[in-house]
Amino acid sequence: MTMFSSRNWREYPHRYRTEASKFKKSGKTYIPKRLVDPETGDTEQETVRLPETGKVLTHTIIRIAPSQWGDKAPYALAIIELTDGTRLMAQMTDVEMDDVKVGMEVRLEFRRVQSEGSHGVISYGYKAVPKWY
């Protein structure tokens, strides 16, 4: 499946700099940025950068991957809660897949995530590594 670079480029603020929306009323933060707070309907917000550390809420090992991942499987995937309560999904890397556990402390790092389309344009973003790594 061909993806277009503009589609990835639009997401650079989120993927490269973990920019997120912090809403005034609820104090909640969401990545990617959005116009309306889903809980309060509030539109007053500021752009913040997410904290780098958090913990694993749940995880899996993907052994059969969609076509664009080709031979990259198996890989570990996790839902992470950052120290400010924001949640996101990211691949785990620089760790033995079987060692990933609920509650494990992790840090987000800037990594190569995948390559898009038949030309293999590289898409970067965040992946999670063990905090001590």
Partner 1 sequence: MRTVCVVGVGMGKWGEIWRMSLRDLHTQAALSAIEAAGVDHLDSLYVGCMSGGLFVGQEHLASLLTDYMGMRGLAATRVESACASGGMAVRSAFIEVASGMSDIVMASGVEKMTDVDGDDATYALATAADQEYEVFHGATFPGLYAMMAVAHMEKYGTTRDMLSAVAVKNHNNGSMNPVAQYPFKISMEQVAKSVMVADPLHILDCSPITDGAAAVILASEEVAKKLGKPYIKITGTAIGTDTIQLAQRDDLTTIKAATIASGKALEMAGKKIDDIQFAEVHDCFTIAEIMVAESIGKYKPGKAGEAFLAGESALDGSFPINSSGGLKSKGHPVGATGVAQVVEVYKQLTGQAESGRQIPGSPKVAMTQNMGGSGGSSVVHVMEVA
Q: Which residues bind partner 1 (CB under 8 A)?
A: 1, 7, 11, 30-32, 38, 57-69, 72, 75, 77-80, 87-91, 102, 113-114, 123, 125
Q: Which is nearer to partner 1, 80 or 106 (CB)?
A: 80
Q: How far is the CB of 20 from partner 1 (least distance, A)?
A: 11
> In whole angstroms, what separates CA 33 from the centre of its chain?
13
Instruction: Quote the least distance from Cβ 130 to partner 1, whole Å.
Output: 18
The minimum distance between CB 63 and partner 1, in angstroms, equals 5
Residues 119, 110 contacting (CB under 8 angstroms): no
Question: Which residues have CB under 8 Å from 115's CB, separation 6+?
Answer: 121, 122, 123
Beta bridge partners of 45: 23
Contact 105, 130 (CB under 8 A): yes
Instruction: Find the shortest distance in angstroms from Cβ 86 to partner 1.
Output: 9
In terms of DSSP H, where are the helices of the chain?
Answer: 5-9, 12-17
In this complex, which beta carbon is closest to partner 1, that of residue 48 or of residue 77? 77
Six token digits for residue 92: 């785990």
